[in-house]
Chain A
Amino acid sequence: MAPQRRLSTPTSDSPAVQPLLRVRDLSVSYGGHQVVDRVSFDLPRGHSLALIGESGSGKSTIARSVLRLLPAGVGRATGTVELQGQDVLALPERHFRPLRGRTIGFVPQDPSSSLNPVRTIGSQAREASALLRDEAGHELDGAAQRQAVVDVLARVGLDDPERVLASYPHQLSGGMLQRVLIGLAVLPQPALIVADEPTSALDVTIQKRILDLLSELRDSLDISMLLITHDLAIAAERADSVVVLKGGTVQESGPTSQVSTAPTSAYAQRLHDDVPALNPDRYADLRAVGEARRADPASAPKIEVRGVTKRFSVHGQELTAVDDLSFAVPAGTTHAIVGESGSGKTTTIRLLLGLETPDSGEIVVAGERVDGRSHAELRSVRRHLQFVYQNPFTSLDPTWKVERLVREPLDRFRVGDKAGRREAVREALDAVGLDHALLARRPDALSGGQRQRVAIARALVLRPDVIVLDEPTSALDVSVQADIVQVLLRLQAELGLTYVFVSHDLALVRQLAHTVSVVRRGRVVEDGTVERIFDAPREDYTRTLLASIPDAGAARRPALAEQAS
């Protein structure tokens, strides 16, 4: 464990200025299990501080302690959390409640579940507007409250506030809902906003817009921010100072510029190395193997998709999910399909796997047509074409042991005898770097990274040529993601596998892919090599996507320098 360190920002050193939020030796336990251990930090007025960590680091628990939203009766917090000099933990609820909303606001993680699903946005907005007071300290009248709500929704970039107010949460998109949540949080003009992963449930371009909105509101309304994130790149871009957490303890803390460029603790260093946005060339060696194959003029394409169109009929309306899609993937390389939700990524995968039949166009994998074949005929193609799902927490049958999970494709295709299958399963586990001791475990007893390795081993066991990867790391922590990417690239270099890598994470695509198709609303906006797309994008949409990669270089150093002077 790295030594505990107090965050020393210039303001907190002078005793005359009291920090807005002062956390000292905060420890939190859930039913005897300690999840936060003596954490201390200061958040000066007007600053933003990021708590960074992976799942289980205790970052959200700290946020909930500060907000006093720990589950009643289960969570126990000790230490002090001083908000404007008042110890929040020691206050009885009836004294803390007036601070809720007015002094300390909250922007939750998942916009789709953070509003009451059976009440209109308007009726919930009224609760926030009821906190508003005029100069004399009286509650505003109905019309003034409504106007304030409409104003704040317009302020957070919602075009038609009246329509938003009349809607139920399920009728709005995630980005719009997150704007509503932010609007409701800033409406009573709190001094501090706690934002718990405010963008992790959103598309990348929306992510950037929401973060921009938060930064802008913070500056214009003079609100301080406690930002909880797993993404060091986002923290580097948005926060003045950071606290790096692991297993409930502080690993390192300090000004963002220092922690993000020259981390001193081993963990922060590792975290720094694992963030794709900060290390675009991390896997340059492994990637170069595929790059050579791509550049080889003799190489034939392993996958060819030509003019594929797929339409669906939804409630009598024709919807073109994939529109004249074409791309070719040289053998032994990685082709990335990049797009946001609704771009047709999922349909593309289903078409590639032969789960959907295209309305027109053709798909050729390893010289065999995939489209227009019967289920039985597809079996032979499938042996060469495997799939790794997005979420390893739901894609593995929880009642099966690892051995059976990995062996199943062999059983289904009746490959080899019993001993041969046993051997093949163990080879596949070796290939993904899993210990044989895990063979007798069920998915519940595995970590997220181990599960995704099992899923990859399962895809590998048939010795396919092509693996389709559907955001294989998006459900995983960044350090686990780095391990999985490493495994994938090593396998490609060694076995000459061809990958179709579907993702919305451009920084990750930059690290591992060779060619890219940028898709939007079912159409290819732009395609080319990774270098060409990233260095010289031709289309505005590609530029928007690229701009959404957090720019760690833009850490708020000027603001910090200002504070110091």
Chain B
Amino acid sequence: MGVTRQPRRAPRPYLTYAVQRVVQAVVVVLLAYCFTFLVISVLPGDPVTATLRNPQNNFTEEEVQRIVAYYGLDRPVWVQLWEALSRFVQGDLGVSLRSNLPVSTLIGDVLGSTVVLAVSALVVALALAFGIAYGTRNAPAPVAKALRAFPSLFLSVPNFVIGLLLINVFAFNLGLFQVIDSEGPAATFFAAIALGIPVSAQVAEVLIANLDHEARQDYAGFATSRGLSRSRLFWRHLLKPSSLPVVTVIALTVGELLGGALITETIFGRTGIGSLVQRSVTTQDLPVLQAVVVLAAVVFVVVNLVVDLVYPLLDPRVDLRGAARAPRTAAEQPLETTQGASA
């Protein structure tokens, strides 16, 4: 019986693995773009021409020809796709049919607000989840027991209810923030709480289950037998292995954050991707919608890519030499997730 020696983190397998993952991610984004493009092009009735030819919109024949030529609507679908794809690769997302502004400008204007909201919500969710999970292992028994009920409670309350409650109590009753100043830090904070609470439930659920699981493992008993205190056992032994699956869960909750952001923005009266999507759906502004769908896909792919790249660094057991054994995450089902996010 010899030691199965292997370099602890051989750089070469990791590099190969990382390059593979990045290439996969790029392919997924391009496929997502093609998919949405084709879905829109097979829809009955060509919305672009329909919009342009609508007498109310007052486009001159010359303008119509120019726009039709720009989108290549007079040519076969695959040529259109190729052109759209080359424009996409160059960063040109097209022009809004309603405002005549470039789609990238429209999205750029509102993206910041949504990103701030989603990231703060994620921070709130992680802090809450960790607090609950920590409590279940280290608080006195009755408190720990009560804390275990929180995730299901959080999950069962829709986030618009939480949002309305927060507005009612903290804005109207306590006056801690102004509903009018919807982009201010205080308002953002409470919006992030509304959005973060349901997400925290999922993270906490997984974290608690993993902590319970790890605490039953032989090594936890062996560590206890060596005289480690409860809190040292938690920090030094249980937390890291329990947190590894949470990393994957975080990647999955991105969809929740994006979908939830749309609702939360409406409730808190924020201008963000949510309001942009709402406007574009009602006005059938397809270039904008397509861009948002692709954006959602990009966010998903990037987050999952980060998880895939970080995971082997966190877990020494992941063996990168067999590519098939790389961690599975949501990025494996690109189309399903993009559809989910755009719904």
Contacts and interface: CB of A to CB of B under 8 A. Distances in A.
B92 interface: no
B317 A170 contact: yes
A128 B223 CA distance: 9
Contacts of B216: 71
B2 A173 contact: yes
B226 A342 contact: no
Interface stretch (A115-123, A330-338, A358-366, A536-544): A115-123
B45 interface: no
Given A118-B241, A181-B222, A127 B4 contact: no
Given A97-B227, A100-B227, A315-B321, A114 B222 contact: yes
Contacts, number: 106
Contacts of B244: 118
A273 to B, nearest CB: 33
B225 A116 contact: no
A377 B218 CA distance: 47
B226 A119 contact: no
Nearest to B244: A118
A134 B228 CA distance: 19
Interface in B1-15: 1-6, 8
Chain B interface helix/strand/loop/mixed? loop
A258 B315 CA distance: 51
B237 A119 contact: yes
A113 interface: yes
* Interface-central residue, A104, A171, A203, by most chain B CB under 10 Å: A171
Contact of A116 (B1, B6, B223): B223
A171 B6 contact: yes
A461 B40 CA distance: 62
B221 interface: yes
Interface string A117-153: 1110001100110010000000000000000000000
B297 to A, nearest CB: 32
B316 A118 contact: yes
Contacts of A98: 227
A457 interface: no
A408 interface: no
B224 A69 contact: yes
A172 B240 contact: no
A170 to B, nearest CB: 5
A124 to B, nearest CB: 8
B236 interface: yes
A168 B316 contact: yes
A121 B316 CA distance: 12
Query: Which of B226, B236, B314 is most buried by chain A, counting CB atoms within 10 A of its CB?
Result: B226
Interface core residue of A108, A117, A118 (most chain B CB under 10 Å): A118
A115 B237 CA distance: 9
A177 to B, nearest CB: 10
Interface in A336-351: 340-342
Contacts of A109: 218
B317 A117 contact: yes
A118 B317 contact: yes
A124 B216 CA distance: 18
A127 B222 CA distance: 11
B228 A127 contact: yes
Nearest to A103: B227
Contact of B1 (A71, A114, A203): A203
B59 interface: no
Contacts of B237: 116, 119
A110 B221 CA distance: 12
A190 B244 CA distance: 35
A472 interface: no
Contact of A114 (B219, B228, B236, B321): B219
Contacts of B219: 113-117
Contact of A184 (B8, B226, B321): B226
Contact of B227 (A102, A114, A171): A102
Contacts of A168: 8, 316-317
A101 interface: yes
A67 interface: yes
A108 to B, nearest CB: 5
Interface residues on B, range: 20 to 34
Contacts of A100: 224-227
A69 B241 contact: no
B282 interface: no
Contacts of B3: 163, 167, 171-173, 176
A105 B225 contact: yes
Contacts of B218: 108-110, 113-114
Contacts of B236: 119, 123, 127
A90 B174 CA distance: 51
> Which among B1, B2, B217, B240 has the greatest number of chain A C-beta atoms within 10 A?
B1
B57 interface: no
Contacts of B315: 118
A175 interface: yes
Interface string B207-249: 0000000001111011111111100100011001100100000
Contacts of B240: 116, 118-119
A104 B225 CA distance: 8
A128 B316 contact: no
Contacts of A116: 219, 223, 237, 240-241
A101 B227 contact: yes
B136 to A, nearest CB: 13
A67 B2 contact: no
Nearest to B1: A173
A112 to B, nearest CB: 9
Contacts of B8: 166-168, 171
A175 B1 contact: yes
A174 interface: yes
Contacts of A172: 3-4
Nearest to B228: A127
Contacts of A340: 1
Contacts of B226: 100-101, 105-106, 127-128, 131, 184-185, 188
Given A118-B244, A170-B316, A113 B225 contact: no
A464 to B, nearest CB: 35
A340 B1 CA distance: 9
Interface string B293-326: 0000000000000000000001111000100000
A206 interface: yes
A522 to B, nearest CB: 15
B225 A101 contact: yes
Contacts of A102: 227
A121 to B, nearest CB: 11
B239 to A, nearest CB: 10
Contacts of A114: 218-219, 221-222
A113 B241 CA distance: 13
Contacts of A113: 217-219
Nearest to B240: A118
A341 B6 CA distance: 20
Given A108-B222, A116-B237, A119-B237, A131 B227 contact: yes
B228 to A, nearest CB: 6
15 contacts: A67-B225, A101-B225, A106-B225, A108-B221, A114-B219, A116-B237, A118-B241, A127-B228, A128-B226, A172-B3, A173-B2, A173-B3, A174-B1, A184-B226, A185-B225
Q: Nearest 3 CB-CB pairs, A to B? A: A106-B225, A101-B227, A100-B227
Given A108-B218, A118-B244, A171-B5, 10 more contacts: A69-B221, A108-B222, A127-B232, A163-B3, A168-B317, A171-B4, A175-B1, A185-B225, A203-B1, A206-B1
